[in-house]
Structure 1
Amino acid sequence: MRGVEERRECGELTPGPGYFWVCTIGGMLSAGTTHVAITPLDVLKVNMQVYPIKYNTISSCFITLLREQGPSAFWRGWATKFFGYGVQGGFRFGLYEYFKKLYSDVLVDHNRSFIFFASSASAEVLANVALCPFEAVKVRVQAQPHFAKGLLDGFPKLYASEGLYGFYRGLVPLWGRNLPFSMIMFSTFEHSVDFLYRNVIHRRKEDCSRVQQLGVTCLAGCAAGSVASLITNPADNIVASLYNRKADSLLLAVKKIGLMNLFTRSLPIRIILVGPVVTLQWLVYDTIKVLSGLPTSGEVLTDKEVNKKV
């Protein structure tokens, strides 16, 4: 495709500006649409985090919200999720690909895991700055029914009441949640793709059909989402607490929630929520890349590279 350099170096296609734009657009569409699709589950998760006594199980949360606020309650905040996570997804995937190429060129004899971690962390720092204002409005809309109806009235109301700081109150814990999540997700995905092709399929990636490649994407995406969701649940609880003024600082939030509750509160629904979302994101993202004439995501080591590392 235009914008992607056609020459090959070391057997791999060298990305050009067009490649990164496709990755950015693919990231925006995949993240935005999948997060909208699971809005009802996200509403349950946020309310269980903010009101753990009232909503101590998934079923009680669902029944109570349905009885008190009606079916529309489960779609509160959908617009902020679509635009907020769409912007985040564009930064996350597009910049990840950019930084991965940049760091790979600079660090020639690199450790692959270090490149994956560094690239995803660099991309996620900027992605969360873009996401943070949308997340601030979304959490309030979902957990405070009388705060605002959605995106259009939520932004000016939050700014009027708390100023610019209100939008970035949870930036540090958001980094605390999403930085390790992104680093673990991308690294797990990359290593899973490599493992599946070399040890399960026993075929080179380019020798597989597009359908087979997308199947590998789904399996690797499922593994990436499951591992990342377990590790980042404490930070997710802190973000919900800070945005809903249940605590005024990070330390107070941790103290109020409790160490054990940081890891266990809303964990089942988070696993149900995050695993399928990450899988769908990778599937949509790679489908867009395939339709654009690009290969699916994930690096696969050659036998020569494996022997060199051994």
Structure 2
Amino acid sequence: MSAHLTLHNRTIAPPGGGGEGHSFATTDPVPVVGLAVGDEPVAVLPAADSAHPGKRMFMYTSAATISQATASCGSPIMNARDRMCFKHFLLMVFAAVFMGVIVVTYLWESTAADSIDPITGVVRLYSFHYFVYCFLGGLSSGLIHLFLTPIDVVKCRIQVGEYCGFRQGFTHMFFEAGGSVSRALPLFFCGWLPTVWGYSLQASSKFFLYEVLKVVLMETTTTTTAEVRPAISTTGVGSTSPPSSAAHGLVAYQFFIFLLSSFLAEVVADLFLAPWEAVKIRMQTSPSFPLHLRIALPRMWEAEGLHGFYKGLVPLWCRQVPHNVIKLSSFEFFVSGVQFTFQYTGVIDTAAPSAVDKLVVSFVAGALAGVVCGIVSHPADTVLSKLNQKTCVQTSNAAPLLANTISDVRRDNMGHSKAKLAFNGMLQSALEVTREIGWRGMWKGLVPRLLMVSSSTALQLVTYDGFKVWVGLPTTRGVILGR
């Protein structure tokens, strides 16, 4: 069966004329370019019009019509080779997750006797159960980003130049939905699913690795570990006694271990965040990008392959690594200041602060730390948003990177040059975007991002510490903490 494809330049009138599809329309007619099979419209794409800046029209016919058109043209969503590579990649991911769950379950059961104190029934510090709880605490803290999705959506659109300010963005999106709260919610929570997946995986792996690396680095580089832990634990939240001489001598060493642990943990954790961040930004900044993961993931794979999910990894590292290192190090500073202020004013008990007192200190210090790290990491965040928006506008029709890699391995042509070329391409793209937007352009959307980062940092740290307190563990403060 064959079909005759034609392009039509049309003007879509305001809503009310009925039709098979659904649309979001402006009050004025908007010129569009339509794709039709015979006389039946299949899809309507918005066309640029200087008379209607910021106005967009989307119209979709039924899925059956679109499927019939694509099948008639012999152009499926993914060809057989791409589909096979995508399925193999998903199978490898699911197999790795399944094996990880089996291994963790086995270790959980086999180390139960050593991980739990038989007298008190409390989980021992730095045991396997302790680190698993740290992983789960990080997983729960990653869910905080779900409630901050509306701020993130407006921030991303400001960074790519769609809006000029925070207030204009919220107002425009609200009226774009017809002034209805129920219709505005899908717009403000656009990309919430990749946000939850990405930041939950990133936070869980980050806090898990951070806790493990703190202990491992301290124990492998210090011969007197038993002396180090009590000395450092005296600097925790709620400590009123002055630090010992050993603690004074270990301040610089503690700070180095602290920074190194957070640095390494974030570098690894961003490998889990990068694919979901790329999908999320495309959903939030590109009107033509699918809003469902089951459609969005194959679409990205077909256009750019695995490289499309990780092409923003370099600017993501530039944003997240300084963000995480500065967040935790400034958190150290602000906790001491907030704790001293609260004790001086009598807000918390100086002799024996409760768990609630410690969590309040963590929340306030986390909010202040979020402002600092948000300012430092904002230029890289703007470059990341602009890079993913630019990629979505100018998509490539090349075969997926992983498909090419598998083919090259079979022909014995795979070497380090391809990986090096891919990395250089990511770096070059980031540099081009930086030169394009300029220094002032990199600070677009700073206010909404500071609001988002400060609140997310405070809520993330207090959620993580709250989970640990709930399961009977001490709050996180310093490199190694006592109770």
After superposing the two structures, state which structure 1 stretch, 110-119 or 95-104, moved more.
110-119
**Corresponding residue for 2:324?**
182
SS state at 2:473 partner: coil
Residue 450 of structure 2 is matched in structure 1 by: 271
- Which residue of structure 2 lines up, in the alignment, with residue 24 of structure 1? 135
2:436 matches 1:259: no
> Whole-Å Cα distance in 1 between the matches of residues 350 and 267 of structure 2?
31
Contact 1:96–1:123 under 8 Å retained in 2: yes
Question: What's the CA shift for 1:130?
Answer: 0.6
> Residue 245 of structure 1 aligns to a residue in which SS?
helix
CA distance in 2 between counterparts of 1:77 and 1:159 reads: 18
Return the alpha-carbon distance in structure 2 between the equivalents of residues 296 and 142 of structure 1. 35
Q: Distance in 2 between matches of 1:186 and 1:234?
A: 20
Paired residues of 2:258 and 2:478 also in contact (CA < 8 A): no
1:44-63 alignment runs, 5 A limit: 44-50=154-160, 52=161, 54-63=162-171
Please name the residue that 2:172 is paired with.
64
* Residue of structure 2 equivalent to 1:306: none
Residue in 1 that maps onto 2:265: 123
Query: 1:213 Cα deviation (Å)?
Result: 1.1
**CA RMSD across the alignment:** 2.6
1:305 match: none
Q: Deviations over 1:228-285 (max 9, x none)?
A: 00111100001001111269711111111111222x2111111111101110111111
Match of 1:250 in 2: 430
Distance in 1 (alpha carbons) for counterparts of 2:116 and 2:337: 28
**Aligned AA for 1:75?**
F
SS of 1:124's equivalent in the other structure is helix
* Contact kept in structure 1, 2:254 and 2:479, CA below 8 Å: no
Mapping of residues 123-272 of structure 1, within 5 Å: 123-197=265-339, 200-201=342-343, 207-245=352-390, 249-262=429-442, 264-272=443-451
CA shift at 1:75, angstroms? 0.9
Amino acid in the other structure paired with 1:84: G
Q: Which runs of 5+ in 1 are unaligned?
A: 8-12, 303-310
Quickly say closer, same or farther: Cα 1:170–1:275, change in 2 above 3 A. same
Change (3 A) 1:168 1:94: same
Is the alpha carbon distance of 1:152 and 1:301 closer, same or farther for their aligned partners in structure 2, counting shifts above 3 Å? closer
Structure 1 5/201 Cα, relative in aligned 2: closer, same or farther at 3 Å? farther
Deviation per CA, 1:9-47, whole angstroms, max 9, x where unpaired? Answer: xxxx7411111111111111111x211001111100011
Q: Structure 1 residue 192: deviation in Å?
A: 2.9
After superposition, give the CA deviation of every residue in 1:36-62 in whole Å (9 maximum; x if it has no partner): 001111100011111x2x411112222
Change (3 A) 1:198 1:301: farther
1:34 aligns with 2:141: no
State the AA in 1 paired with 2:477: G
Identity of aligned residues (%): 34
Letter in 2 for 1:73: L
Of 191-200 and 176-185, the range deviating more from structure 2? 191-200
**1:72-111 superposed matches below 5 A:** 72-108=186-222, 111=253
Render the CA deviation track for 1:114-135: whole Å, top value 9, x for unaligned.
1111001111111100111100
Q: How many residues align?
A: 293
Structure 2, unmatched stretches of 5+, are 1-111, 119-123, 178-182, 223-249, 395-427
* Alignment partner, residue 290 of structure 1: 469
Checking the alignment, whether the CA contact within 8 Å between 2:214 and 2:479 is kept in structure 1 is: no
Report if aligned partners of 2:274, 2:310 keep a CA contact under 8 Å in 1: yes
Amino acid at match of 1:98: V
Greater displacement, 194-203 / 14-23: 194-203
Letter in 2 for 1:36: L
Of structures 1 and 2, the one scoring higher in RCO (CA 8 A, sep 6+) is 1
| Offset from partner CA, 1:69-93 (integer Å, 9 cap, x none) | 5512111100001111000010111
Distance 1:41 1:186, change over 3 A: same
SS at match of 1:145: coil
Displacement of 1:68 after TM fit?
3.2
The C-alpha deviation readout for 1:151-203, integer Å capped at 9, x for no partner, is 23211111111111000010011000000000001112233334444675379
The 2-side partners of 1:93 and 1:136 are apart by 22
User: Which deviates the most, 19-28 or 241-250?
Assistant: 241-250
The CA distance in 1 between the partners of 2:351 and 2:190, in whole Å, is 43
**Is the Cα contact below 8 Å between 1:138 and 1:150 reproduced in 2?**
no
Contact 1:217–1:282 (CA<8 Å) still a contact in 2? Answer: yes
